[in-house]
Amino acid sequence: MLSAWFRIMLWKRILGALVAGVIIGMLWGSDAASIAWIGGLFVRLIRMVVVPLVFVTLVSGGVSMGDPSKLGSLGVKTLAVYMSTTLAAILIGLTLAAYLQPGIGVDLSLAVPSSVQAPIPLSERLLSIVPSNPIAALAEGNILAIIFFALLVGISLLVIGEKGRPVSELMNASTEMMLKITHWVMEVAPFGVFALIASVAGNQGVSALLDVVILVVCVVLACAAHMLIIHGLIMMRIVLRLSAGSFFKGARDAMLVAFSTSSSSATLPVSMSVAENKLGIKPVVASTVLPLGATINMDGTALYVGIVSVFAAQAFGVELTLADYAIMAGSTTLVSVGTAAVPGASLFLMAAVMGAVGITPEQIAIVIGFILPFDRPLDMLRTAVNIGGDLSVSTAVANWEGEFDDEIFNRQ
């Protein structure tokens, strides 16, 4: 029986766990929370490997570049594509919200106001990239600071050459070690996913979504359109001349884990494993682009914030002009950089974006209170979009930098 279990492809086991979790959770009800600790244990396991995996793979990747100037080319392309896809996601969300009008006729009188933490200012986010204490950054899991310090270590090893070979070999061996641990952790994924989904379905179910059907439909359509059109059709087929089907097959393990955990950061080890083993992205790109994406690339979050902002304006009768839509698109693109890669982080963005178009703090509190009961299921969906976007951009950058193995990609 055990050998038969492992013969089933991992994505099928995870998908089966998702379906079973929804069914059991809805039947079990709120008591399903009693197994939430299993899901929590799974999340702790994958978070356990995030920091060491990011650090050693980035150092190893920096050494394998062979030329420090290559880092500049890679970084510029990565940031440009990430910002472009985020802006595209926002435009899709705003367009659908303006057309479907999810806020028209919605009664917010029964919503319980809820305060929301302001997003981290962009200037503060940029300043935090340079760690005052690298060891503290590792301990706190500050991914941007870890990326900065690890790249400095990798480039320094590259520059000093032969003297740094022992450390370089240690980092290469450490990378293999961490990838093996990640593989072991992923074997626990079906059980963790089952517990997480059962707990969510038991406590919230799908009934809460019925109260805001048009808003939910709007979010689902926007997520599907962004993944299929921007990443599947434009990025894969038109720009890269690759099979969109092969991309989505290769990315599905990471997207399923992202759906269950609602955390881009927690999914990072899975994303890196999938990138190298199923999408043919070589470590030098995967170890650089994906950690950065988990921190600043929030396609699903951005389109969701845009949709909810339009929803709020419609519900409160705030007339939006073309200039208002442009302000929302620009402000969402900028503040999404300061979003934490954890469940529910998009709620932190809403005050800044809604406030930019004239929605008062009291109205913002009412909207946040209104959407909180059903935010988790939608958070799961948009996190899967975030991870899909990270992997798509990584595939593109790997192609452009000559760090791509098309045989592995086409094997899907």
Q: What is the mean pLDDT of the chain?
A: 82
CA 167 to chain centre: 32
Distance of alpha carbon 128 from alpha carbon 375, whole angstroms: 29
pLDDT at 231: 96
Distance of alpha carbon 339 from alpha carbon 120, whole angstroms: 7
Token digits of residue 386: 């975030």
Cross-strand bridge partners of residue 281: 404
Sign for the pseudo-dihedral over CA of 278, 15, 240, 301? negative
Judged by DSSP in three states, 131 sits in: coil
pLDDT at 297: 82
Token digits of residue 379: 């958070």
Distance of alpha carbon 144 from alpha carbon 103, whole angstroms: 37
Highest CATH level, class, for 9-410: mainly alpha
The segments of the chain whose pLDDT lies below 50 read: 340-343
What are the residue ranges of helices labelled H in 68-164?
Answer: 69-100, 122-127, 134-140, 143-160
Return the axis-axis angle of helices 213-225 and 69-100, rounded to nearest 10°: 140
CA 296 to chain centre: 9
Q: Which helix (H) or strand (E) holds 46?
A: helix 36-64
Token digits of residue 254: 């990471």
Judged by DSSP in three states, 281 sits in: strand
pLDDT at 213: 81
Distance of alpha carbon 228 from alpha carbon 232, whole angstroms: 5
pLDDT at 395: 95
Token digits of residue 11: 């994505």
Cα end-to-end distance, the chain, whole Å: 26
Distance of alpha carbon 224 from alpha carbon 212, whole angstroms: 18
For the chain, how big is the Rg over CA atoms in Å? 21
Token digits of residue 72: 């500049």
Sign for the pseudo-dihedral over CA of 95, 100, 105, 111? negative
Q: Are the C-beta atoms of 311 and 108 separated by less than 8 Å? A: no
pLDDT at 377: 79
pLDDT digits (tens, 9 = 90+) for 142-165: 777 888 898 888 888 888 888 888
Residue 361: closest CA among 374, 349, 352:
352
Q: What DSSP line would sit under 330-350, residue for residue?
A: HHHHHHGGG--SSTTTTHHHH
Given 3-state DSSP classes, what are the helix, strand and coil percentages for the chain, each rounded to the nearest 5? 80, 0, 20
What secondary structure letter does DSSP report for 262? -
pLDDT digits (tens, 9 = 90+) for 259-306: 988 888 788 888 988 999 999 998 888 888 888 888 778 888 888 888
Q: Which helix (H) or strand (E) holds 327?
A: helix 322-335
Return the axis-axis angle of helices 299-315 and 347-356, rounded to nearest 10°: 50
Contacts of 193 (CB under 8 A, 6+ apart): 14, 17, 18, 21, 39, 42, 256, 257, 260
